[in-house]
Amino acid sequence: MAVITDLRLRLDPPVESAVYFGVAELVTNAVKHARATRARISMTRDDTDLVIDVEDDGRGGACVRADGGLAGLRRRLAAFGGTLEITSPAGGPTRARIVVPCESL
């Protein structure tokens, strides 16, 4: 797994927790469900948002179901004005993007 970032900031504890557990859930899903052998996490901050991209080399096919973990992650991020977008074609790779507005930081 590769983690790429140049950020030197601390988030408010509730936001930090939501982002941490969100990334952990995405990586866990990659290993458990997609059988990924590699994952790449990048974190950047632009003028308005904290952007976290998680990409794996798994088999793809991830989808957001109303009763699933990804929907729960979306709800947790939405509490801070954040979003989660998933692109996961059959055969992979899966790419997930978490965006949290800077006003939440």
Query: What is the per-residue pLDDT across 5-35, written as a single tens digit (0 to 9) for each?
Result: 877 777 788 888 999 999 999 999 999 989 9
DSSP string covering the chain: -EEEE-------HHHHHHHHHHHHHHHHHHHHTT--S-EEEEEEE-SSEEEEEEEE-S-------TTSHHHHHHHHHHTTT-EEEEE--TT--EEEEEEEEGGG-
Q: What is the CATH number of domain 12-104?
A: 3.30.565.10
pLDDT tens readout for residues 42-95? 999 888 899 999 999 999 999 888 888 899 999 999 999 999 999 999 999 999
Of 17, 16, 62, nearest in space to 39 by CA? 62
Average pLDDT over all residues of the chain: 90
Q: Distance (Å, rounded) from C-alpha 17 to C-alpha 12?
A: 9
pTM: 0.89
Return the pLDDT at 1. 73
What is the structure's pLDDT at 11? 79
Whole-angstrom distance, CA of residue 98 vs CA of residue 37: 21
